[in-house]
Copies of this chain bind each other. A is one copy, B any other.
Amino acid sequence: MARITGSNGERTAAAIRRAALRLIHRHGFAAMNLRELAAGVGIQPGSLYNHITTKQGLLFDLMQEHMTTLLAETDAALAAAGPALIDRLRGFIAHHVLYHLERKQEVYIANFELRALDPPNAACILAMRRAYEDRLIALLEEGVAEGTLAMSDVRVTAYAMLAMLTGVCTWYRPGGRLGRAEIVALHVDLALDGIRRR
Contact between chains at B163 and A183 (CB < 8 Å): no
In A167-197, the 8 Å CB interface with B consists of 167-168, 170-171, 178, 182-183, 185-187, 189-197
- Which of B86, B149, B178, B194 meets A192, CB within 8 Å? B194
> Chain A at the B interface: mostly helix, strand, loop or mixed?
helix
Copies of this protein, total: 2
Q: Does A14 contact B (CB under 8 A)?
A: no
Asked if B185 and A152 make an inter-chain contact with CB atoms under 8 angstroms apart, the answer reads yes
> Do A186 and B28 touch across chains, with their CB atoms under 8 A apart?
no
A112 close to B115 (CB less than 8 A): no
> Which residues of chain B come closer than 8 Å to A153, judged between CB atoms?
178, 182, 186
Q: How many residues of A are in contact with the other chain, CB < 8 A?
A: 48
Are B159 and A167 closer than 8 Å at their CB atoms?
yes
Q: How far is the CA of A116 from the CA of B112 in the complex (A)?
A: 14
Closest to A112 in B: B112
Q: A157 near B171 (CB under 8 angstroms)? A: no
How many angstroms from the CA of A182 to the CA of B155 in the assembled complex?
13
Pair B197/A195 contact, Cβ less than 8 Å: no
In the assembled complex, the Cα of A125 lies from the Cα of B165 at a distance in Å of: 24
30 sampled A-B residue pairs with Cβ under 8 A: A26-B115, A27-B115, A28-B28, A28-B30, A30-B31, A31-B116, A149-B196, A149-B197, A150-B196, A152-B182, A152-B185, A152-B186, A152-B189, A153-B178, A156-B178, A156-B183, A157-B186, A159-B168, A160-B164, A160-B186, A162-B167, A163-B163, A163-B164, A163-B167, A163-B170, A190-B194, A191-B195, A192-B194, A192-B196, A193-B196
Chain A interface residues toward B at CB < 8 A: 26-28, 30-31, 86, 112, 115-116, 140, 143, 147-153, 156-157, 159-168, 170-171, 178, 182-183, 185-187, 189-198
